[in-house]
Amino acid sequence: MPSAWTQLPTVADLGEQAVLERILPLLTPGRGVHIGPGDDAAVVTWTGDSLVTTMDLMVEGPDFRVEWSTGFDVGWKAMASNLADVAAMGAAPKGVIIGLAMPDTMGISAVEDIARGVSAGLESMAPGCGVWGGDLSSASVVMLSVTVVGDMEGRGPVTRSGATPGDVVAHAGHLGLSSRGLAELLDPGANPALLRETSDAVMWHLRPTPPLHLGPLAALAGATAMMDVSDGLLLDARRMAKASGVSMDFDSGAIPDHHALTGGEDHGLLACFPAGFDVPEGFVVVGRVVDGSDRPGVVTINAEVPSEDLGGWDPYRR
Amino acid sequence: MPSAWTQLPTVADLGEQAVLERILPLLTPGRGVHIGPGDDAAVVTWTGDSLVTTMDLMVEGPDFRVEWSTGFDVGWKAMASNLADVAAMGAAPKGVIIGLAMPDTMGISAVEDIARGVSAGLESMAPGCGVWGGDLSSASVVMLSVTVVGDMEGRGPVTRSGATPGDVVAHAGHLGLSSRGLAELLDPGANPALLRETSDAVMWHLRPTPPLHLGPLAALAGATAMMDVSDGLLLDARRMAKASGVSMDFDSGAIPDHHALTGGEDHGLLACFPAGFDVPEGFVVVGRVVDGSDRPGVVTINAEVPSEDLGGWDPYRR
């Protein structure tokens, strides 16, 4: 691990209890928390009549690299990717539960940096949502497990399966920016420290800030289907189209390059709205839902199937 | 990894979607689940006025060994350790969210075995509690992240900090049995396959079944403090005593050997009850709470401080 991640003292020098005492004060507390971190479980007052839950694992190697990312970046990005799944149901995130496994050579300052990134990400993308609890463990690589609990707040959940022929398809956020940043970092001559200063795409890849407040707004505006784009527009749109039993046709103008088509990790919101509705401000129309009873799940661009079999992200196939 | 964990086809042969299609039917569904696994997030009907959440990471190496454990064992034990934290608040578990990171050389049959262990563990220790969702990822070792959501069902939460001088200290479950099983497995001449057939301690270490239904009963019976014993009686009792600002004195008869004193992973329930109350059936009185204003957190056995500095489990210090 690079030196920023192993600065002394290490977590082994301190032991679990001292690590907890250092990081707990850095974590944004949740609202309505009756019993917070420190006991066997957290107890939170709940007034909603539904719960929304999602979880995501971020593993050093496939999901992030300590050579490029600071702890702050990793904490922030873990919030972005998980909060996006809650927003994509039209729900409001209320609390997160975080597991961190790490080598015992990791420096406490890197752990504190992750905690600061978690809190800053929550305050930016989900004000009012706090950390309810978590767990620490030991592993040869850094792994972050994040579970988010959200509340529909009386709205109906917006699934992936409600897209209807005639709907417009709209997107809020960036398409391909994270992938462009990743490509810059992967360039053999890249200087990651310099790119952090000079490239918006690189900083977006490391620390994305999707417009997640638009998720509940889209639900209120009558979205028929919604998901966040985490594995690339093509793969995720195919999933939505398949779940809905429809096809989707995208405008080539909305997809300037292969990054926009297949690049993941932007965590913007892809939503369908009935034709004739105004899409909420922040969404851009990028295509339309077409009848797909003969070929559900097919995604075209200007009515043509993309010529190559461009895939998307699969953790077991690279 | 041993052959039972790498039997073909591997998860890389199948890809993420096919892996999900194989394991989702094996997972016990939750009650009141409006939208289950497959969308961005799960949506569950909730009628309680509080939420209880806890999470735990289980990492191959520090937490389990694929040489000894089957996938079924790992899935089962992950349920035991997490459900115990919910039970120790006096709550009833309602749903679990599971993350699984694994090498892409892992066989789908081992993944299915984990799923079967999860479901069997839930059906045994938390009937009515199901799997709400989760995530799959890739890592060089197997890591399981489990978050449980529970409901206080109108009971008051039983924390670690309510123990009061004069209370009796009681325990439900086994003390040291898991540690005895671990010692048998660690013996240089051990034959793990044979020990699975012949040793109750080994099977308890691999697949513990703590009496978790007693958690809500203890809460109703007036328990003043409760926690599950995951890191050893001595360390966990010290934590409870420190949180409560008291000392605790144990009866030596209740602690036959060092396994019972410092061995973890039995996940029994340690609870305090006001003197004169009947402790609920299933609990055994093992000591009493004494004034500790001059030395909070001190734990003695027959009024003597244990002679050695016997520790307990710390993931960063071994």
A170-184 mean pLDDT: 97
Q: What angle do CA B275, B278, B284 make, to 5 degrees?
A: 90
**Residue B228 contacts A, CB cutoff 8 Å:** yes
Please, which pLDDT band fits residue B3 given cuts at 50, 70 and 90?
A: confident
A239 and A138, same domain (yes or no): no
A235-255 mean pLDDT: 96
Final residue before a domain boundary, out of B89, B116, B151: B151
B191 and B272, same domain (yes or no): yes
A73-88 mean pLDDT: 98
A55 and A116, same domain (yes or no): yes
**Residues of chain B contacting A161 with CB distance shorter than 8 Å:** 39
Query: Is B138 among the domain residues?
Result: yes
Domain count, chain B: 2
User: Beta-carbon neighbour count of residue A248 at 10 Å?
Assistant: 28
A172 and A92, same domain (yes or no): no
Query: Is A160 among the domain residues?
Result: no
B121-126 mean pLDDT: 98
d(CA A190, CA B60): 35
The reply to whether residue A43 touches residue B54, judged by beta carbons under 8 angstroms, is no
Q: How far is A197 from chain B (nearest CA, A)?
A: 31
Query: Is B81 among the domain residues?
Result: yes
A205 and A295, same domain (yes or no): yes
Q: Which of residues 115-154 of B touch A (CB under 8 A)?
A: 132-141, 143, 145, 147-150, 152
CATH at residue B67: 3.30.1330.10
Query: In the predicted model, what is the mean pLDDT of chain B?
Result: 94
A250-277 mean pLDDT: 94
B220 and B268, same domain (yes or no): yes
The predicted pLDDT at position A38 comes to 85
A60 and A185, same domain (yes or no): no
CATH at residue A241: 3.90.650.10
Query: Is A162 among the domain residues?
Result: no
Query: Is B201 among the domain residues?
Result: yes
B287-295 mean pLDDT: 93
Helix spans in chain A (H): 3-6, 11-14, 16-23, 71-87, 108-125, 177-186, 192-198, 200-206, 214-220, 233-244, 258-262
Q: How far is A112 from chain B (nearest CA, A)?
A: 16
**Residues of chain B contacting A140 with CB distance shorter than 8 Å:** 61, 140-141
A224 and A129, same domain (yes or no): no
Burial of A194 (C-beta count, 10 Å sphere; 0-12/13-18/19+) = exposed
Please, which pLDDT band fits residue A3 given cuts at 50, 70 and 90?
A: confident
A167-177 mean pLDDT: 98
A256 and A293, same domain (yes or no): yes
Amino acid at B236: D
B231 and B118, same domain (yes or no): no
B107-129 mean pLDDT: 97
Q: How far is B70 from chain A (nearest CA, A)?
A: 20
Is pLDDT of B146 > 70?
yes
Stated pTM of the model:
0.93
B26-54 mean pLDDT: 93
Please, which pLDDT band fits residue A134 given cuts at 50, 70 and 90?
A: very high
Structural domain boundaries enclosing A57: 3-151
B115-136 mean pLDDT: 97
Test the A interface: residue of B44, B129, B147 with most A CBs within 10 Å = B147
B94-113 mean pLDDT: 97
Percent of the residues in chain A that have a pLDDT greater than 70, as a whole number? 96
B17 and B115, same domain (yes or no): yes
Pairing assessment for the beta strands B299-301 and B246-250 based on DSSP bridges: parallel
